[in-house]
Structure 1
């Protein structure tokens, strides 16, 4: 999978009035990164020293997305080799493929190769096999 910042998603959030670009500007430099999916569960979020939690996909830290919850979403491996997304109740929600409606909290949402998962202020996670 690829994790990066999406300027079009950020602009959409600004246009919807969800973000104030003066308070939360788009990052000037974010390099896409490849992440291999492994295990039964992959947590997406921000590390929390006080909770002793480090997600497999950490979207916090310098240059990170401040609108990501500590446990923003979880990718769950399915027996057929595909993945499902669960939003455990993140503050800002999670959407897939640009839909306006967020994924319902606590409900497994099946993902396909090429799906785009949007979270936080500008993060997009693109599922890619191999």
Structure 2
């Protein structure tokens, strides 16, 4: 049986694109790129997986919590939703900095499901990429 897995990682290429699009320099960039963040994997087991940052102890934390990892991530940034066991979509949850797919320049339209394929890269925040794969 196959499973969908999300690899969460600090993406230097995405960070550089964000900086270039915003005309950022060392003094205006949203935080320095983290050199020491190890990629981590999350197996998608629920019908809904929230991506964002918790607001502190006891708060309702998202399943993929990027708090303390990426300053550009909204409290509820995006949602991965299973339409069927083998078909997933990503929805931007009205995030402040937007969500993009596969290094596209235009952000996803908030609250609009976008179909995912194995190998797609979802970009959130200042440098975080989530690669979705069916394994």
Give the TM-score, by structure 1 length.
0.91
State which of 112, 123, 132 in structure 2 corresponds to 1:107.
112
Q: Secondary structure at the match of 1:75?
A: strand
1:96 aligned onto 2:101? yes
Distance in 2, Cα, partners of 1:9 & 1:29: 16
What is the SS of the residue equivalent to 1:13?
Answer: helix
What SS does the corresponding residue of 2:61 show, helix, strand or coil? coil
One of 5, 10, 14 as aligned partner of 2:19: 14
Q: Which runs of 5+ in 1 are unaligned?
A: none
> CA shift at 1:19, angstroms?
4.4
The corresponding residue for 2:41 is 34
Query: Is the strand fraction higher in 1 or 2?
Result: 2
Please state if 1:56 is matched with 2:78.
Answer: no
Distance in 2 separating the partners of 1:32 and 1:21: 25
The number of aligned residues is 128
Matched, 1:44 2:51: yes
RMSD between superposed Cα atoms in Å: 1.6
CA distance in 2 between counterparts of 1:17 and 1:102 reads 14
Structure 2: segments with no counterpart, 5+ residues: 1-5
